[in-house]
Amino acid sequence: MKAEILAVGTELLMGQITNTNAQYISQKLNSIGIDVYYHSVVGDNSGRLKESLLNALNRCDLVIMAGGLGPTQDDLTKETVADVLEKKLVLHEESLERIKLFFDRMKREMTDNNIKQAYLPEGCTVIENNNGTAPGCIVEKDAKIVVMLPGPPKEMKPMLDDTVIPYLEQKSGYKTVSKYLRVFGIGESQLEDRIMDLVDAQKEVTIATYAKEGQVTVRLTTKCKTYEEAIFKIKPVEEEIAGRLGDNLYSTEDEELEYVASKLLIEHGITISLAESCTGGMIASRLTDVPGISKVFNRGIVSYSNEAKMENLSVSPETLEKYGAVSRQTAIEMAEGVRKTAKTDLGISVTGIAGPDGGTDQKPVGLVYVALADKSGCDCRELRLTGNRDRIRNMTTLYVFDMIRRYVLGAVRINKE
């Protein structure tokens, strides 16, 4: 079954609100094996709306419309659908009573134009709206299906989940299942080179890669009658790719890197403390996004100034004078200092130049040192990052979590400096 999502509302075209409905609907349709071929947006204009609907019906079996079901004169979705499908709009008494009850509960007066919302195409399947006044509906004609839903996401989502998806699932008979492999430490082109022969030979399981700052995701997708059958097909492809990616693969469950690192710390009972300079608390913020991290995370110190590095982390003045705040030596003393102060198993530090200014020929923007100290010593990595300030700080944070992950898994050796 081919589908098009048609969002209705001039406010979308003007950029006043973001069309998050299309993304949500696509994800849900994909999960039941319905292929979304098109996303369209049209304003509150009867002529253009009719043209868009006709185009959608001409090229797809299913059209899901979101928006244009309100009580005002520019809400034209039902009227347009009724016109195109040659259906009369008839009063649905049950919907009218629900609208009246909604206003009674809200202690608000119901105006006459709200009655318009209770008029629906004859013979349609009505979708109750428990979070607003506009009911939705499903209309079928000549092997075509048109679904109409209200625009506000808090109304649209439960109506889609509770009524539309179960309705369509019976007609589809398939499930689209995807597994997501998350990778850090190699770029998208390098990753693709490692698996290109698999991509060229793909048949039942499709392989796609896409990059997000500093990370790459490999999506494995297939369509089957059951979830179990899909996983059976995906498994050998997943295992082959995992073998080729080695320790650059950090998750086969579509998890963020900070979650994977934090989960490892919690599972192994390894306590941690942080000393952040250029990241300014970003690492601690992401760490504390993970439930249960309080079991192992002791403290985070943002030591932005030299004074803070000396007073809170016991970095020696001589080190700062001789090597500077952005140096391997300072990063090591920061990591060891915070670990000793917090009495944790690990101490992590970062110091660097995030830009846009502050760089020199010897120490350019993007130079960052990341150090990890335990009772046996300290491992320090020099990073040469590119991009703007936000990217450099974000990449530094990702490298920290990857370093933690590798340490717990035994991939990082601590050496006495």
Give the mean pLDDT per block of 10 residues along the chain (417 residues): 97 96 96 96 97 98 97 94 97 95 90 94 96 96 97 97 96 91 95 95 94 93 94 97 96 96 97 98 98 98 97 98 98 98 98 96 97 97 97 97 96 61
413, part of any domain: no
My answer on whether 209 and 272 are in the same domain is no
My answer on whether 320 and 384 are in the same domain is yes
Q: How many domains does the chain have?
A: 3
Name the residue range of residue 266's domain: 257-408
Which residue, 187, 219, 251, sits at the end of a domain?
A: 251
My answer on whether 243 and 392 are in the same domain is no
My answer on whether 241 and 328 are in the same domain is no
Residues in the chain: 417
287, part of any domain: yes
My answer on whether 27 and 125 are in the same domain is yes
My answer on whether 124 and 17 are in the same domain is yes
Cα dihedral 115→116→117→123 (10° resolution): 110
pLDDT at residue 417, as a whole number: 47
pLDDT at residue 106, as a whole number: 86
**What is the pTM for the complete model shown?**
0.80
My answer on whether 136 and 235 are in the same domain is no
CATH number (domain holding residue 54):
3.40.980.10
CATH number (domain holding residue 189):
3.30.70.2860
> Measuring CA to CA, which residue among 303, 305, 367, 385 is closest to residue 341?
303
My answer on whether 23 and 54 are in the same domain is yes
416, part of any domain: no
> Measuring CA to CA, which residue among 362, 373, 287 is closest to residue 330?
373
My answer on whether 73 and 120 are in the same domain is yes
My answer on whether 234 and 150 are in the same domain is no
My answer on whether 200 and 166 are in the same domain is no
My answer on whether 9 and 144 are in the same domain is yes
> Measuring CA to CA, which residue among 347, 364, 346 is closest to residue 355?
364
Which residue, 172, 193, 210, sits at the end of a domain?
A: 172
Q: Which residues make Cβ contacts (< 8 Å) with residue 261, sequence separation at least 6?
A: 401, 402, 404, 405, 408
